[in-house]
Each structure stands twice: as structure tokens, then as C-alpha cells.
Amino acid sequence: MSSVPSRTFGLDLPEYPWEAMAPYAKLAAEHPDGAVNLSIGTPVDPTPAVIREALAAAADAPGYPTTHGTPALREAIAAWYARRRNVPGLDPQNIMPTVGSKELVAWLPLLLGLGEGDVVVRPTVAYPTYDMGALLAGATPVAADNLEELDDDVRARVRLVWVNSPGNPTGIVRSAASLRTLVDAARNIGAVVASDECYAELGWDEWDPSRGGQPVPSILDPAVSGGSHELLLSVYSLSKQSNVAGYRAAFVAGDAAILANLVNSRKHAGMIVPAPVQAAMIAALSDDVHVADQKDLYRARRELLIPALQAFGLDIRHSEAGLYLWATAGEDTWTTIERLARLGIVAGPGVIYGDAGAGFVRIALTGSDERVAAAAGRLSAAAP
């Protein structure tokens, strides 16, 4: 027997937060008409044919793909930013595809060289992976929506600021003026601002251009950036707008020096988007029709769920964009989760998005028309 002392291997990270939902999912599954899972924002509608056909046409891919992405893909992304995000003249050299956006969120602090003593700021109610990315790098995550909220000693150590607009889970959209204030404050201390914008095409009401509203601003919009992409990164995913979550198709664009370093680091690490997926991304980014059609489906589901949730006693807060309704019944989160589970409805617990999410639940629009209608019917029938 070896005399070498035993050693524990593996990362010391918190348990994946969604594991806490297991008993409530089991309870919902007991409903005689089956469960309606509106907890996870995973697309359920078919991937558009134009994308699947592009993927199939590129399936003969015996060689290694490029980490930086093909020139054709980067040009398609630049054209999309100009057409859909009011970001003209984006240099394709300063763009890189990623294996979904979650992996970039999780690894960006490490890839930026952050470590012990550095601070990563994320929104007060936020996607848990922002914190995990900081922890993986050995940095310290701090919750704040503006740098002015931080003590001087903490603010001096900030190296990365995450913005999520439209926000998950709240659906909050930050105006161009609000983003510009944050960008200016971050630049004053030499911090990078990384903006997770993956719900930008899913604005509602005042943020719905197809209904007379204005587009959701990008961090790279000249009104926000001041015409320079220095210290700015825009992160985007096609999962939601094009129903390609299974493809892991996303990208990052912005600061030229940072992008060049990211490309080099990822070459060493083997973080590469498969060639057929890169071809499919070009097709997805070049076709706006399927995006509008999918948004119409989500709009109809949203308009069905809102009054049903309100009748059940839930107050909808924010939710001006994105795939979720952020709601509270003025009670403990888990009490609401259980009451919904008894109706066969699985929702997301607000507490996993930070302390500020206590008392809230997140309702996803990502159910089929039939399942969303079933949920609405159950909610209305159970109304007090």
C-alpha cells in the first residue's frame, strides 16, 4: 500500500443550484395532466430549416476548425451587429465564436488573467455562472448594479464588470445612458465591461421595435461606447432567438487587444466551435425572418401567461424583455414554488439568482403552445 498521504481531487464549488428543484419537479410530475416545466429557458420549438440545412451541408468536415472562426462567419457577425444592434463598422478581426455563451461567462475571468485579490462585479440579481467564473479564477465576486455602490477599497480592485441587459432572470433593460455611465466608471478604474446580451432580440413593449418600441442597446453601440470598443466586450448567443441551444453557438466581440489575447489563449486550450456549427451560425445570422417568427410565438405565450399568473396572485415585476416573467406573491420563494408544483407547474426559484431574488420566482416562456395553455388554465382555475 502506498505511504503517500491521500488527497482529494476536484474543484471545491457549491452544489449546482438547480439540484434543489428535484422534489418540486417530482411533485409537479404527479399532476394527472402531466407537468408543465417552465423553469429552464431551453427552447422547445424546432430549429429553423435554413439553419439545419446549413449544418447538414457542412457536415463533411474532416479537418480542424479555426478557433478564431472563419472569415465568412466573422463577417456575418459584423453585418448582424450593424443591422440589428446599431454597431456599425465592427472589425471582423475583433470577433470570435464561442462554444455557447455559458462557457465564456465561466472562463472569462481566468482568460483575462484575473486571480486572488481581483474583484468581478455582477448584477445584484443574476445568472449564477458569473459568480462561478470568478471563483474558478480565484477572484472575488461582488453583487452590484453600479460601481458607485461599492466601497472605495473594493472598487479599486474591480477588474471585470458583468452587465446583463436584458437581464436574466429579471428582464430588466438598461438604457444607453445607464450603460454609458457604467462604461465611463469602469474605464476610469481600468476595468473591463463584459455585456451578456443574449436576449436582446426579445424586447417587449417599449423595447419591441416591431411594435413601435426602440431596440435594446448594445454595449458596443456608439451611444454607449463613445465610438471606442476599448475595455468593452459584447457576448451573444443564438440559442434563444434561433432555437439552437443544442448547437452551442455564440460569440464575443469588442476590444481588439483583448480579443487577440482570447483567441491565442483559446488556441492553446482547444476551445473551438465545430466547423458545421460555424456554417450554421452564418445561416442563422443572415436570416431575420425566423427570428421574428420565433419572437411572435414567445409573445403569444407571454400574453397568455401574464393574466393567468396575476389571477393566481403573482405580481409581475420588470420582465420588459427576455424569455422570463419575474414574479412574486409576497411570500417565501419555496412556498410559491410548492404551490405552483401542486398545480403541476415547475418554476425557477428566485433565490438561486442571489439574495435579492428572495421571494421571487422565474416563469419561462419556453413551453409548447399546448403546455403553456395548460399552465394558464390551471393558474386561472386556482385563482382565489
State pLDDT tens for residues 144-198. Answer: 999 999 999 999 999 999 999 999 999 999 999 999 999 999 999 999 999 999 9
pLDDT of amino acid 4: 65
pLDDT of amino acid 18: 80
Spatial separation of the C-alpha atoms in residues 186 and 144, rounded to whole Å: 13
State which amino acid sits at residue 306: I
User: Average pLDDT for residues 216-220, to the nearest whole number?
Assistant: 98
Spatial separation of the C-alpha atoms in residues 78 and 109, rounded to whole Å: 25
Q: Are 308 and 375 in contact (CB under 8 A)?
A: yes
Place of cell 421571487: 360
User: Average pLDDT for residues 52-81, to the nearest whole number?
Assistant: 97
Q: Are 98 and 104 in contact (CB under 8 A)?
A: yes
State which amino acid sits at residue 274: P
Q: What is the mean pLDDT of the chain?
A: 96
Residue 109: pLDDT over 60 = yes
Model pLDDT for residues 246-297, shown as the tens digit of each residue: 999 999 999 999 999 999 999 999 999 999 999 999 999 999 999 999 999 9
C-alpha cell at 149: 455602490
C-alpha cell at 178: 445607464
Spatial separation of the C-alpha atoms in residues 233 and 96, rounded to whole Å: 11
Q: Residue 322 has what DSSP assignment?
A: S
Report the run of H or E that residue 50 belongs to, with start and end: helix 49-57
Place of cell 424569455: 323
Among left, alpha and beta (phi > 0; psi -120 to 50; other), residue 32 is: alpha
Strands of 95-99's sheet in order across: 95-99, 249-254, 232-237, 192-196, 158-164, 119-122, 140-143
Spatial separation of the C-alpha atoms in residues 295 and 297, rounded to whole Å: 5
Residue 27: pLDDT over 70 = yes
3-state secondary structure of 76: helix
Q: Pick the closest to residue 255 from 183, 168, 356, 353 (CA basis).
A: 183
**pTM, entire model:** 0.94
pLDDT of amino acid 2: 55
State which amino acid sits at residue 347: A
pLDDT of amino acid 13: 82
Residue 372: pLDDT over 80 = yes
Residue 208: pLDDT over 70 = yes
Residue 5: pLDDT over 90 = no
C-alpha cell at 227: 465610438
C-alpha cell at 364: 419561462
Sign of CA dihedral 107, 122, 173, 190: negative
| % the chain with pLDDT above 70 | 98
pLDDT of amino acid 103: 96
Place of cell 500500500: 1
Residue 204: pLDDT over 80 = yes
Sign of CA dihedral 31, 34, 40, 41: negative
119: Cβ–Cβ under 8 A, 6 or more apart, which residues? 139, 140, 141, 142, 154, 157, 158, 159, 160
CA distances from 223 to 50, 85, 86 (A): 34, 12, 9
Give me the numbers of helices (H) and strands (E) for the chain, helices first please.
14, 13
DSSP string, 216-228: PPPTTSHHHHTT-
Q: Are 137 and 102 in contact (CB under 8 A)?
A: no
What count of other Cβ atoms lies within 10 Å of the Cβ of residue 180?
A: 18
25: confidence class by pLDDT, cuts 50, 70, 90? very high
Q: Are 289 and 56 in contact (CB under 8 A)?
A: no
* Strand-pair category, 324-328 with 315-317: antiparallel
Model pLDDT for residues 314-362, shown as the tens digit of each residue: 999 999 999 999 999 999 999 999 999 999 999 999 999 999 999 999 9
pLDDT of amino acid 1: 52
384: confidence class by pLDDT, cuts 50, 70, 90? confident
